[in-house]
Amino acid sequence: MTDAEIASIARTGAGGVSPGFGVYVHWPFCLSKCPYCDFNSHVRHAAIDETRFVRAFQSEIAHAAARVPGRTVSSIFFGGGTPSLMAPETVGAILDAIARHWSIAPDVEVTLEANPTSVEAQKFRGYRAAGINRVSLGVQSLDDAALAQLGRLHSAREALDAVAVARDTFARFSFDLIYARPEQTPDAWRGELRRALEQEPEHLSLYQLTIESDTPFATLYAAGKLPIPDHDAARALYEITQEITAAHGLPPYEVSNHARHGAECRHNLVYWRCGEYAGVGPGAHGRLDVDGRRHATATEKHPERWLIRVESRGHGLVVDEALSREERGDELLLMGLRLAEGIDPEKFAEVAGRPIDPARIAEFANSGSW
């Protein structure tokens, strides 16, 4: 089988179901840095020159489209950082650039991550007019003391109000909660999760708190000042999560993501099914099929250095590596292990050129790398 045939199988899936083609847009700024977060997010005290950023996004989109022309975009995701700090006009200009270079599927999913403050909720109608049809809100907790501990700038009331505005404004919405927080009891989590489900979301992302290195939470944890649940207690909280969400018709389709049937986040499924996606903006990752080879791409992380790089070269790429069949097989395993639907053995064999090795699965499962 030729490399081009392998690339096309990966795009369409062995069973003929296409994971789609996604575009990820990274907005790297936040109003403040949450003490648990290691995302590529930066705080700036001066105003951001959004016009300059739009021009750079337009260049990167044109560059990616020249490498992978003729695709039909099935999902677009504005992630961050805090994309809800962008002006709706900025979002609209980036969407226009995507539509100028690729075809857009009639049922395209266009998601924007938003922080649930009243200021941001006021911009929701503008985002809808710009073309956003789904929002994902970072609620994190419905407990004010926990929100303060997480360094969040909103209260539980404000978050619920933003959820209500999202429900009235967009066809689809989701929100995120973080559990296994310091001193969180099973009963407290049950109550919080039930209140979240009362909002009748079609989709919820429920993440266990992870202590990321080089964050203030990592320092507190190392000093014994962050009493998070141990492995067994966290597992019990995970099981409570599965039980309650399934009882409310929101079973997990991925380790931390729950949805009503048909309301799964299509963009994230592109990643987990190892589909093709372009990543634009500072620190964005992509997977592109160029000349019959799957390429892993990444851009410069630092926002202003990314701008300068794009302005001088037309793109901010710092990584652009063709993956071997071995590496592609490992990616399919690592991503597929996250999904309730699992891994299609036929697709695996066609892409990786070898059957699935149970020992390799055990290795990944035990390493915790997924």
Contact residues toward ligand SAM (CB under 6 A) are: 30, 36-37, 39, 79-80, 82, 113, 115, 138, 140, 176, 178, 207, 209-210, 212
SS (H, E, C) the chain: CCHHHHHHHHHHCCCCCCCCEEEEEEECECCCCCCCCCCCCECCCCCCCHHHHHHHHHHHHHHHHHHCCCCEEEEEEEEECCHHHCCHHHHHHHHHHHHHHCEEEEEEEEEEEECCCHHHHCCHHHHHHHCCCEEEEEEECCCHHHHHHCCCCCCHHHHHHHHHHHHHHCCEEEEEEEECCCCCCHHHHHHHHHHHHCCCCCEEEEEECCCCCCCHHHHHHHCCCCCCCCHHHHHHHHHHHHHHHHHCCCCEEECCEEECCCCCCHHHHHHHCCCEEEEECCCCEEEEEECCEEEEEEECCCHHHHHHHHHHHCCCEEEEEECCHHHHHHHHHHHHCCECCCCCHHHHHHHHCCCCCHHHHHHHHHHCCC
176 binding partner (options ligand SAM, ligand SF4, none; Cβ < 5 to 8 Å by kind): ligand SAM
Closer to ligand SAM by CB, 169 or 174: give it.
174
332 binding partner (options ligand SF4, ligand SAM, none; Cβ < 5 to 8 Å by kind): none
Closer to ligand SAM by CB, 121 or 352: give it.
121
Closer to ligand SF4 by CB, 75 or 115: give it.
115
d(CA 342, CA 355): 15
33 binding partner (options ligand SAM, ligand SF4, none; Cβ < 5 to 8 Å by kind): ligand SF4
209 binding partner (options ligand SAM, ligand SF4, none; Cβ < 5 to 8 Å by kind): ligand SAM
- What phi-psi label fits residue 180: left (phi over 0), alpha (psi between -120 and 50 degrees) or beta? left
Closer to ligand SAM by CB, 113 or 254: give it.
113
Nearest residue to the partner ligand SAM, using Cβ: 138
Q: Which residues of this protein are in contact with ligand SF4, per CB under 6 A?
A: 30, 33-34, 37, 39, 41, 80-82, 115, 138
Question: At its nearest, how many Å lie between ligand SAM and the CB of residue 212?
Answer: 5
Closer to ligand SAM by CB, 79 or 131: give it.
79
Amino acid identity for residue 257 in this structure: N
Closer to ligand SAM by CB, 19 or 283: give it.
283
Closer to ligand SAM by CB, 42 or 293: give it.
42
23 binding partner (options ligand SF4, ligand SAM, none; Cβ < 5 to 8 Å by kind): none
Closer to ligand SF4 by CB, 19 or 81: give it.
81
